[in-house]
């Protein structure tokens, strides 16, 4: 079973003092190496800060773009991990080790693997 | 079989249902991997028992018979629905059901009840959902009964339970007892649910009547189950705390339904059996040296229970226990209770100073009992104007009728 872990925090790397960011990157390097080793790792990426975001909508065939993320909150989406875990308890254990969880929070969501989804994504079982 | 024997078999089936249905249900969830399938299988199994037992006699191990019957009914159901789904999926589903360990060892069955409790109280579910699901699935209350207890409507409750079960399924909340590393946090969540149920029964937060007996007895039953299956010091402490509070139920309200304070209660009405059991459990929990807030609160309740009157209470001991409790779990409510105990030990002025300081800090401004305690101490010190103002604040904050009447009576009794 795959879970998406969305990392949210009030401060992202770019907004931290340089030493703190360096330390945080090192924490991430260690954590990511550890879950590659344990087989939980599926994928991950860090995102550039929300001011770099553009939100796109299409209405009546017209594309409209707006500046910024689709929802403004104090906590910003900073990156994500996709992990493999046998159930929610195991996913929570992995999520609790993500360095971002110590300063912000991590939303853990199961990834849909039902037939219509897999067919739509072109990756049938 | 004679008519008598048939009637007896039917009675046995019904008695087994009352005593065992939740155990059988817990095991069926493990075997079938789904709450709804298990519920359906449970009903099918009992229907089969009502048909077969009067005819063929009651089996040697009714519980194992029911689990086994439920499992076969579920497999039948999956096969019947198979006409509509791909054959590999059916094979997979049936295999998952058949492959499991033999369901008829009693130890395994007890583990299943623990799995059910921990799943219903999983912290990934909202607190409201944890309470509703525990009462429905572990205690077997109907949604109507739960709705009545929480002054809600049956459709709201049913909706909450459906959503919780969907989350268990979709988010893959596992059906297992947590590992020792996870246990402290997970047990906290279970104990919190049980105590919440108890308190809603012991001191209904709103409404006409002061207490709701059924919820308290369900909570005590749950507490006993926990202690039986997982005798952790805090589980023992919580059961002790509930029993000791419950022991005062008959004395807490007057025949007219009015609130009677601890100091004014007729202690001959206290339930001695519950006090004896609760006090023994307190000793057991404290003896473990791994006790926490529940055992400490139970210890305080035990000191009250052993005193012949409010004046004869060992207030020094109670203040000391509150000091330990404050270190274990700092909270302004505990500080308030400690202040009241200090007032009993050292006089109202000493206690009032502490309460004024808590309120001045801005904590507990909206907590009716803080203002009621302040009012009471002012009254005893003859500071009538201050007492009046504090009683009025307390009245404005209370949502419970007997409590409001009590405070208004006190207010009316103040000298001009």
> What pLDDT is attached to residue A36?
97
> What pLDDT is attached to residue B93?
61
Return all residues near A82 (Cβ < 8 A) that are at least 6 apart.
Answer: A2, A3, A4, A5, A42, A43, A44, A111
CA distance B168 to chain A (A): 9
- DSSP code of B253? B
Residues of A in Cβ contact (< 8 Å) with B170: 110
Asked if A92's CB is within 8 angstroms of B124's CB, the reply is yes
Residues of B in Cβ contact (< 8 Å) with A86: 172, 174
CA distance A82 to chain B (A): 15
Residues of B in Cβ contact (< 8 Å) with A91: 172
B192 near B129, Cβ under 8 Å? no
> What pLDDT is attached to residue B167?
94
The conformational region for residue B393 under phi > 0 = left, psi -120 to 50 = alpha, else beta, is alpha
- By Cβ distance, the residue of B170, B174, B178 closest to A110 is B170
Say what angle helices B272-287 and B233-246 make with each other, to 10 degrees.
160
> What pLDDT is attached to residue B320?
97
B67 near B24, Cβ under 8 Å? yes
A76-84: strand order across its sheet: A41-46, A76-84, A2-9, A105-110
> What pLDDT is attached to residue B13?
84
Residues of B in Cβ contact (< 8 Å) with A110: 170-172
CA distance A16 to chain B (A): 31
Residue of B nearest to A4 (CA): B171
B150 near B157, Cβ under 8 Å? yes
Nearest to B293 by CA among B222, B238, B242: B238
Residue of B nearest to A113 (CA): B170
Select from B124, B171, B181 the residue whose CB has the most chain A CBs within 10 Å, as the one to mutate to test that interface: B171
Gap between the Cα atoms of B37 and B74, Å rounded = 7
Residues of A in Cβ contact (< 8 Å) with B121: none
- Report how many domains make up chain A: 1
The SS3 assignment for B5 reads: helix
Question: CATH number, domain at A63?
Answer: 3.30.70.1060
The conformational region for residue A82 under phi > 0 = left, psi -120 to 50 = alpha, else beta, is beta
According to DSSP, the residues that pair with A3 across neighbouring strands are A83, A110
> What pLDDT is attached to residue B81?
75
> What pLDDT is attached to residue B204?
56
A89 Cβ under 8 Å from any chain B Cβ: yes
- DSSP code of B59? -
Query: Is A125 a domain residue?
Result: no
DSSP run (H or E) holding B191: helix B183-202
Tokens of B158: 């049913």
> What pLDDT is attached to residue B106?
58
Q: What ipTM does the predicted assembly reach?
A: 0.82
Return all residues near B227 (Cβ < 8 A) that are at least 6 apart.
Answer: B235, B236, B239, B281
- The residue length of chain B stands at 416
> What pLDDT is attached to residue B165?
95
Residues of A in Cβ contact (< 8 Å) with B172: 1, 86-88, 91, 110
What residues of chain A, 97 to 116, have a C-beta less than 8 Å from chain B? 108-110
Select from A2, A88, A91 the residue whose CB has the most chain B CBs within 10 Å, as the one to mutate to test that interface: A88
A1 Cβ under 8 Å from any chain B Cβ: yes
How much of chain B is helix, strand and coil, in % rounded to 5? 75, 0, 25
Residue of A nearest to B168 (CA): A88
Tokens of B306: 């052993």
Query: Is A52 a domain residue?
Result: yes
Task: Determine the structural domain holding residue A57 and report its residue range.
Answer: 2-120
Nearest to B232 by CA among B274, B187, B278, B298: B187
A92 Cβ under 8 Å from any chain B Cβ: yes
> What pLDDT is attached to residue B347?
95
Residues of B in Cβ contact (< 8 Å) with A87: 172-174
CA distance B96 to chain A (A): 16
- By Cβ distance, the residue of A88, A93, A109 closest to B173 is A88
> What pLDDT is attached to residue B57?
87
Tokens of B171: 């988010």
In a structure prediction context, what are the per-residue pLDDT tens digits for chain B, which is 416 residues long? 577 878 888 888 888 888 889 999 999 999 998 999 999 999 999 999 999 998 888 899 999 999 999 999 998 888 877 666 565 565 566 555 555 545 455 556 678 988 999 999 999 999 889 999 999 999 888 888 888 777 788 999 999 999 999 999 999 999 998 888 888 889 999 999 999 889 877 765 455 554 555 788 889 999 999 999 889 999 999 999 999 999 999 898 888 878 888 989 999 999 999 999 999 999 999 999 888 999 999 999 999 999 999 999 999 999 999 999 999 989 999 999 999 999 999 999 999 999 999 999 988 999 999 999 999 999 999 999 999 999 999 999 988 888 899 999 999 999 87
B316 near B306, Cβ under 8 Å? no
Query: Is A10 a domain residue?
Result: yes
DSSP run (H or E) holding A64: strand A62-67
Gap between the Cα atoms of B184 and B274, Å rounded = 27
CA distance A91 to chain B (A): 10
Instruction: List chain A residues with pLDDT less than 50.
Output: none
Gap between the Cα atoms of B199 and B245, Å rounded = 10
- The residue length of chain A stands at 125
Question: Could you tell me the pTM of the whole model?
Answer: 0.81
CA distance A67 to chain B (A): 33
**What digits encode the pLDDT tens for the residues A18-35?**
999 999 999 999 999 999
Please classify residue B404 by burial: count the beta carbons closer than 10 Å to its beta carbon, then call 0-12 exposed, 13-18 middle and 19+ buried. Answer: middle
Residues of B in Cβ contact (< 8 Å) with A89: 173-174, 176, 178, 182
Select from A89, A91, A110, A117 the residue whose CB has the most chain B CBs within 10 Å, as the one to mutate to test that interface: A89
For B378, phi then psi, to 5°, come to: -60, -40
Interface of B with A (CB under 8 A): 122, 124, 170-174, 176, 178, 182
Half-sphere exposure of B169 (CA within 13 A, CB side): 13
């Amino acid at each position: 079973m795959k879970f998406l872990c969305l990392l949210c925090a009030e401060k992202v790397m770019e907004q931290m003092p340089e030493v703190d960011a360096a330390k945080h990157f090192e924490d991430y390097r260690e954590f990511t190496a550890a879950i590659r080793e344990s087989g939980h790792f599926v994928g991950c990426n860090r995102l550039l800060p929300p001011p770099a975001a553009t939100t796109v909508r299409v209405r009546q065939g017209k594309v409209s773009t707006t500046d910024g993320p689709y929802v403004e909150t104090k906590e910003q989406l900073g990156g994500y991990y996709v992990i493999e875990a046998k159930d929610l308890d195991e996913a929570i254990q992995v999520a609790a080790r993500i360095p971002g969880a110590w300063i912000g929070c991590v939303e853990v969501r199961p990834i849909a693997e039902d037939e219509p989804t897999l067919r739509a994504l072109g990756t049938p079982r | 079989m004679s008519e008598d024997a048939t009637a007896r078999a039917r009675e046995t089936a019904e008695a087994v249902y009352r005593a065992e249905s939740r155990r059988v249900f817990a095991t069926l969830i493990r075997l079938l991997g789904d709450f709804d399938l298990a519920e359906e299988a449970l009903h099918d199994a009992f229907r089969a028992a009502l048909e077969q037992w009067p005819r063929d006699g009651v089996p040697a191990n009714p519980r194992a018979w029911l689990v086994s019957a439920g499992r076969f009914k579920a497999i039948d159901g999956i096969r019947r629905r198979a006409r509509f789904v791909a054959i590999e999926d059916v094979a997979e589903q049936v295999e998952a059901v058949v492959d499991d360990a033999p369901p008829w060892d009693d130890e395994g069955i007890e583990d299943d009840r623990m799995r059910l409790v921990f799943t219903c109280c999983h912290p990934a579910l909202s607190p409201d959902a944890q309470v509703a699901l525990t009462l429905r699935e572990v205690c077997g209350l109907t949604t109507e009964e739960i709705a009545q207890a929480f002054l809600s409507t049956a459709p709201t409750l049913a909706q909450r339970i459906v959503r919780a079960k969907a989350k268990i399924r979709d988010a893959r909340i596992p059906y297992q007892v947590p590992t020792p590393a996870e246990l402290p946090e997970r047990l906290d969540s279970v104990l919190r649910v049980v105590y919440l149920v108890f308190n809603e029964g012991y001191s209904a937060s709103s409404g006409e009547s002061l207490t709701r007996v059924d919820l308290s007895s369900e909570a005590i039953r749950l507490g006993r189950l926990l202690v039986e299956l997982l005798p952790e010091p805090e589980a023992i402490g919580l059961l002790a705390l509930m029993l000791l509070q419950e022991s005062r139920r008959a004395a807490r309200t007057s025949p007219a339904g009015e609130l009677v304070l601890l100091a004014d209660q007729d202690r001959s009405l206290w339930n001695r059996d519950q006090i004896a059991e609760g006090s023994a459990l307190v000793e057991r929990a404290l003896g473990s040296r791994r006790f926490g807030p529940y055992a400490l609160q139970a210890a305080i309740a035990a000191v009250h229970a052993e005193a012949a009157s409010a004046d004869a209470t060992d207030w020094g001991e109670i203040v000391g226990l509150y000091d330990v409790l404050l270190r274990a779990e700092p909270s302004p409510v505990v500080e308030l209770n400690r202040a009241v105990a200090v007032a009993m030990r050292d006089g109202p002025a000493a206690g009032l100073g502490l309460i004024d300081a808590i309120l001045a800090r801005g904590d507990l401004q909206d907590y009716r009992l803080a203002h009621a305690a302040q009012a009471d101490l002012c009254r005893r010190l003859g500071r009538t104007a201050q007492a009046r103002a504090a009683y009025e604040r307390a009245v404005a904050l209370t949502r419970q009728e007997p409590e409001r009447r009590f405070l208004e009576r006190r207010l009316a009794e103040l000298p001009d």
